Amino acid sequence: MSTEPQLPRAARIFVAFVPLLRANGFAVVPEQTTTFLAAIELLGPRTIEHVRQAALATLAPPPERRATFDRLFDLHFRGSEAIARDDEGEDDET
């Protein structure tokens, strides 16, 4: 039996965002992950934009990587909705 505490189901999607950031070259330390969760709990976010603001404030992406951070955020939290939105904005060059 594992002695590590289990994450509440609702927290898993937020915690899972961090490995995605790390896999894409963002340096995120465990304390930032904890602070991100605390910010979400404190804010009681009503929209995904509240979660984005908590992520920006606590995970602190460098300004020059903000567009990449936003794209990863959208893919993680909006999924197919983000992909569909990108497809609508692209022009075919063929």
pLDDT per residue as tens digits for the range 53-76: 999 999 999 999 999 999 999 999
Segments making up each domain of the chain, as ranges = 9-89
| pLDDT over 90, % of the chain | 67
> Residues near 72 by Cβ (< 8 Å), separated by ≥ 6?
17, 20, 21, 24
Alpha-carbon distance values, 27 to 23, 43, 58, 59 (Å):
9, 24, 12, 9
- Torsion region of 40: left, alpha or beta (phi above 0 gives left; psi -120 to 50 gives alpha): alpha
Asked whether the whole model's pTM tops 0.95, one would answer no
Biggest CA–CA distance in the chain, Å, is 57
Both tokens of 15, joined, read 């915690």
Average pLDDT over residues 83-92: 57
